[in-house]
Structure 1
Amino acid sequence: MQFLDALRGVAVLLVVLSHFGEGHSEFLRDLISSTFQFGQAGVSLFFLISGHIIPRSINGASSLGVFWGHRIMRLYPIYWVSIAVAVLMSAAGVFDLPKGAGSVDVLVNLTMLQGFVGVSNLIGVFWSLKFEMAFYALMTIFVFLGWNRWPSRIYAAWTTCILVIALASVLTPRLFPYGLFHVELMLLGWLLGEWHSGKGSVDSKTAFLGVLAGLVVATLCAYATFGVRIAAGVKGWPTFLPMVTAWISAMVVFMAALIFSNRMRAPGWLARIGVISYSIYLLHCLALPLLAWLAGKVDWMLAAVVCLFITVVVSEMTYRFVEKPAIDFGRKLLARRTESTVQVTPHAR
């Protein structure tokens, strides 16, 4: 699945470009605010990739408990490390936590559920993890109910619902809760993953119609959120055009990657960036104070390259010494529990 790792690499580099550039480059800041939201495109790619991978993971697991065990060991250890580093940097006066954040906020953030209870994210990029968790919960429900065999029906039902909500938002006008669209992206990733595997119930026509529906939904949801905001006189950022171009481009790039995945080989370095992309995603914001300091002494592009290099090196280390050991430990632990269950069950009968 090297092409998925390469896509992750593209996604995380888009996010880093957005966060490193918007504070120091007037050109990038204007481009991001007026034409193309790089960070949102990157996160949208992550959502599509999750939609591709998670259904396979949950369907391939021996039980829902095993699936969640793997997910916990995959997501939480490096996430907790990023929180610890952010708190230590804040105590040293070199990183700003959200205003008023205290020990309770830190404890709630440790659960990764802060987005559901109205607690501020200690690091800005944590916001997307809420939607990842929501998708895991949805897939768990689908498997429990036996609906995981019907990705096209579920995608069609979800798409129809948010189209209705978005249209109602435009006509009311009320701001559309565009987090619903993030789940749409993951469901589209699921649909396209079933098509790409060639083993599911999704044919080429259904996949094409799914992408077409996604493009329509992206446009309407972006307008229902940001166009309505402008029409209502609500000032702020982001705006319609940079968001809709980001969402649409992510879908087009993802579809193109699936189509050409067997015909082109992704660069090894980009695939490696993808392998360690979760660490890069969580940790690159912690390099922003260093970037601000360096940008005051040298050209910001050079400062950004230095900070990216440091982030990649640190992320390689955290992947090797935090992420991978945690993943391997989780696999061994869950494999032992599964073997134990298999051995005990016949005697119990």
Structure 2
Amino acid sequence: MSELAGPVPTEVSDRVVAAPAVRAGDRGRLEELDALRGLAALGVVVYHYTTFYQSQHGHLHPLGFGFPAGNYGVHLFFLISGFVIFMTLDRTRTAADFVVSRFSRLFPAYWAALLLTTLVVHAIGMPQQRPDAATFVANTTMLQEILGFEDIDGSYWTLQVELFFYAQMLLWFVLRQLHRIPWIIAGWLLLVLAYALALRQGWHFSYTTRVLLNLLYIPYFALGILFYRLHAARGSRRANIALILASLATIGIAYEPVYFVVGLSCTAVFALFLGGGLRWLRHRLFLFLGGISYALYLLHQAIGFAVIHRLERLGVPSLAAITLALALALGLATLLNRWIERPAMRAIRQRWQSRRRAPAA
């Protein structure tokens, strides 16, 4: 998911680092990104409960419709992540500040959702949903895939993608190379093309390189970074636009055609955002969805599938079962956001700020 975690405005107003003042109008514009995240998360949920559930398990009462487009909400998450993470590093003083910021935003809510999901699927889930202890422990790291374990919730695969992107951006920050991000993006795109060529020719390409550098998704993160640079007037406008076009071309060459359409659609959405065409997304309903989007993403799939499966076998029509599962996911996400995600983030950041302010012994 997604810059998946938490509302974008909090990244500015509640950050753990000292930073330049936000320009007039930025907060409202960032609220639009937050709302986009919420809509993307909702699209992923509807896709999973309709199209994906049907393909994996089969609804007892066929719906007659699906929402396959929701599957590509994660790509919009990746653009938002590129935008927000580069913005965060642009305003961050130390690597430790960034690590605390990311940890406080991601892990407390994730661990709570992981525990709740595990309890629910063991109680009412399908047999194949129930993880063993080793799988649970591996999942606490968010790196279960590279460790060789299954995701307890199928949506968790994006979290590893996000972590590796954060780690790489932090590395460039520590090396003081973020001002060379256009060249770094050009290098990413060349590596993506090299990977695609190797795949088509049957040549070996390092799995570790592909995973650590996110070569399946890095053009989407690059697009987000480039739109932030346009938004913040960083670097040459022509160069940023040229790299946006190069990123889209790389997606079109390296990936299946549908992903070019996805990239083009996400680019159009961000162009509207920068042009002020998404102000209608500042409605409180969309902002509410944005606020709970991370919790919703973490909680919806495994728990929702268990609920749908159980309700359908109790005779509840599939559409009603989906509606009830969606209502439950939204309710749980609201509670997780209110009682764990936001309080834990505040507490960790306040403690970090206190430690930074404390005089040396």
TM-score by length of 1: 0.82
- Is the contact made by 2:281 and 2:287 (CA closer than 8 Å) also made in structure 1? no
Quick one: structure 1 residues 143 and 279, their matched pair in 2 at CA, closer, same or farther if it must change by over 3 Å?
A: same
Q: 2:309 aligns with which of 288, 292, 306?
A: 292
1:220 aligns with 2:220: no
Deviates more, 1:315-324 or 1:59-68: 59-68
Task: Look up the match of 1:120.
Answer: 150
1:90 aligns with 2:108: no
Q: Aligned ranges for residues 100-249 of structure 1 at < 5 Å?
A: 101-172=131-202, 179-198=214-233, 200-203=234-237, 205-223=238-256, 241=258, 243-249=259-265
Across the aligned residues of Structure 1 and Structure 2, the Cα RMSD in angstroms comes to 2.6
Instruction: Give unpaired runs (5+ residues) of structure 2.
Output: 1-29
Aligned partners of 2:243 and 2:310: how far apart in 1? 46
Quick one: structure 1 residues 315 and 145, their matched pair in 2 at CA, closer, same or farther if it must change by over 3 Å?
A: same
Count the aligned residue pairs. Answer: 317
> After superposition, what is the alpha-carbon deviation per residue over 1:43-85, rounded to whole angstroms, capped at 9, x for unaligned?
0111111111112223323321121112111111111112212
SS in 2 for 1:260: coil
Q: CA deviation at 1:173?
A: 7.1
- Is the contact made by 2:142 and 2:159 (CA closer than 8 Å) also made in structure 1? yes
Q: 2:288 aligns with which of 262, 272, 276?
A: 272
Q: CA deviation at 1:306?
A: 2.8
1:2 aligns with 2:31: yes
> After superposition, what is the alpha-carbon deviation per residue over 1:21-59, rounded to whole angstroms, capped at 9, x for unaligned?
112456545x73xxxx421x1101111111111122233
Aligned partners of 1:258 and 1:298: how far apart in 2? 45
1:62 aligns with 2:97: no
Aligned partners of 1:135 and 1:174: how far apart in 2? 23
> After superposition, what is the alpha-carbon deviation per residue over 1:138-164, rounded to whole angstroms, capped at 9, x for unaligned?
111101111111222211121122113
Task: Look up the match of 2:24.
Answer: none
Aligned partners of 1:287 and 1:255: how far apart in 2? 34
Aligned-partner residue type, residue 105 of structure 1: T
Task: Look up the match of 1:314.
Answer: 332
Aligned partners of 1:190 and 1:9: how far apart in 2? 20
Deviates more, 1:108-117 or 1:119-128: 108-117
Aligned partners of 2:240 and 2:90: how far apart in 1? 20
Instruction: Give unpaired runs (5+ residues) of structure 1.
Output: 224-239
Aligned partners of 1:319 and 1:71: how far apart in 2? 16
Q: CA deviation at 1:295?
A: 4.6
Aligned partners of 1:289 and 1:109: how far apart in 2? 19
Aligned partners of 1:56 and 1:207: how far apart in 2? 15
Q: CA deviation at 1:247?
A: 4.0
Quick one: structure 1 residues 74 and 14, their matched pair in 2 at CA, closer, same or farther if it must change by over 3 Å?
A: same
Aligned partners of 2:299 and 2:225: how far apart in 1? 28
Aligned partners of 1:28 and 1:142: how far apart in 2? 45
Quick one: structure 1 residues 96 and 58, their matched pair in 2 at CA, closer, same or farther if it must change by over 3 Å?
A: farther
- Is the contact made by 2:46 and 2:70 (CA closer than 8 Å) also made in structure 1? yes
- Is the contact made by 1:89 and 1:95 (CA closer than 8 Å) also made in structure 2? no
Q: CA deviation at 1:136?
A: 0.8
Task: Look up the match of 1:323.
Answer: 341
Q: Aligned ranges for residues 19-98 of structure 1 at < 5 Å?
A: 19-22=48-51, 23=54, 24=59, 27-28=64-65, 32=68, 37-39=69-71, 41-96=72-127
Report % sequence identity: 27
1:252 aligns with 2:268: yes
Q: CA deviation at 1:4?
A: 0.8
Aligned-partner residue type, residue 43 of structure 1: V
- Is the contact made by 1:97 and 1:122 (CA closer than 8 Å) also made in structure 2? no
Q: CA deviation at 1:207?
A: 3.2
> After superposition, what is the alpha-carbon deviation per residue over 1:285-318, rounded to whole angstroms, capped at 9, x for unaligned?
1122222344564543343233222211221111
Aligned-partner residue type, residue 275 of structure 1: G
Task: Look up the match of 1:281.
Answer: 297
TM-score by length of 2: 0.79
Q: CA deviation at 1:248?
A: 3.6
Task: Look up the match of 1:228.
Answer: none
